Every structure is written in structure tokens, then in C-alpha cells.
Amino acid sequence: MKRTTQTRMDFEALALPQLPNLLRTAFYVSGVDRDAHHLVAVAIGRAYRSWHKCQVIPDFRVWLFKTLTTVLVHKYGSVLGLSAASISAAAADPFYAPTQLGWQTPGGNSRQLPVSVIAVEDVEQAITDLPDHLKLIVVLSLVEGFSYRDIVDIAGIALETVKARLYEGRTMMRQALVNQEAAGAMFDMAAGGVRRSMMG
């Protein structure tokens, strides 16, 4: 009993700090808070049952998200464009680890849209509006900061598929956020015009 209690405590010490991240990822996929909590609870239960039998895991966080992804695939597999059967992939680029979004306006203009001027709510909405088959890959990369290699392992898809989906997702988000910024600027200009007319 004492050994089992210690095993559970060791697992919880590693897993509990990841709960907010797991819930965030599950929510982006499910879109329903209650479903996200249920999916994460199932994933944590599965992870614990596997972990206490064999605690030699190279990267616990990757393994935990892989367990969650297995649960997500079981429920939303066809929508996410993933299958339960893991697809072997070529060796991923170990030097690529996306940590931030780089935004550019369309049409070859190199003017950067500072991340600081983008509201968190706008970024969250841009992810939410992505097609379902892109959401998980984008969240794993741009929100959770996993590398290509990690995502190949977590999602069980080929490296080129990861790259293609991430590129498509980033492009769509960039366009959405640039449009949002332009809309905000137009609103500010219109509001300024109203204020001036009222003062005049």
C-alpha cells in the first residue's frame, strides 16, 4: 500500500503541473469545457495505469500529451485527420522548436505586425476558427511549444504532414489576425471621426 501511495504521489508530482496545458489542448479540440475535462481525466487515468508499471519515460510531457492525443483520436479521429494506427515518419529536424509567432502582412510586404498589439482573445479565436484537422497540430506547436520531432511522436503522423498542416494553419491564422488588426484600425479611425464631429 505504501509503495502504491508513493507511486501515485510521484506521478501526480509530474502530471499535475501539466493539467492546465492538457485542458487547454483538449478544449481547443472539443470546444466544450465539460468534454475537455472528461477527456483529460480519461487520459490521466490511462497514463497512470501505464506509468506505474514502467516509469522509464524519456520525456514525460511528450508521453502525457501522446496519451491525451490517443484519447482525442478515439473520439474525434476522423475529424482531426488522424488514425489510431501510428504512421512511421522520417527523422524530424531536431533543431526546429517553434517558440513564437511571426506575423507578416500579405502581398509580400515585410512590415511585421508586433505580437504585442495582438489581443490574446484574437489569437485564441484565430485558433478556434481553424479547420478541425489543423487545430491539434497548431496548438501543439504554437501554443504548447513542441518541436516537429515531438509532434510526430505525439500525433503519430509523418513529418511532412506535420509541416504541411502547421504551415497551412500558421498562414490562416496570420491572415485572420492581420484582417483583425486592419478591422481594429478602421474602427479606431471611425471612432476618431465621430469624436471630432461631436466636438465640432
- Would you state the pLDDT for residue 80? 75
CA distance 57 to 84: 21
The cell numbers describing 173, all together, are: 491564422
How does pLDDT run across 91-141, given as a tens digit for each residue?
333 333 333 333 333 333 333 334 444 567 888 888 999 998 999 999 999
Rg (CA), the chain: 21
Question: In CATH terms, are 2-80 and 115-199 the same topology?
Answer: no
Residue 196 CB-half CA count within 13 A: 6
What distance in Å separates the CA atoms of residue 173 and residue 104, rounded to the nearest whole number?
A: 11
Using CA atoms, how far apart are residues 30 and 16, in angstroms rounded to an integer?
Answer: 21
Which tens digits make up the pLDDT trace of 39-64?
Answer: 999 999 999 988 866 666 778 999 99
pTM of the model: 0.71
Is domain 115-199 given the CATH code 1.10.10.10 in the classification? yes
Average pLDDT, stretch 1-15?
Answer: 77
Domain ranges in the chain are 2-80, 115-199
List the single range of 16-25, 105-114, 160-169, 182-191 with lowest mean pLDDT: 105-114
Number of residues that make up the chain: 200
CATH code that applies to domain 2-80: 1.10.1740.10
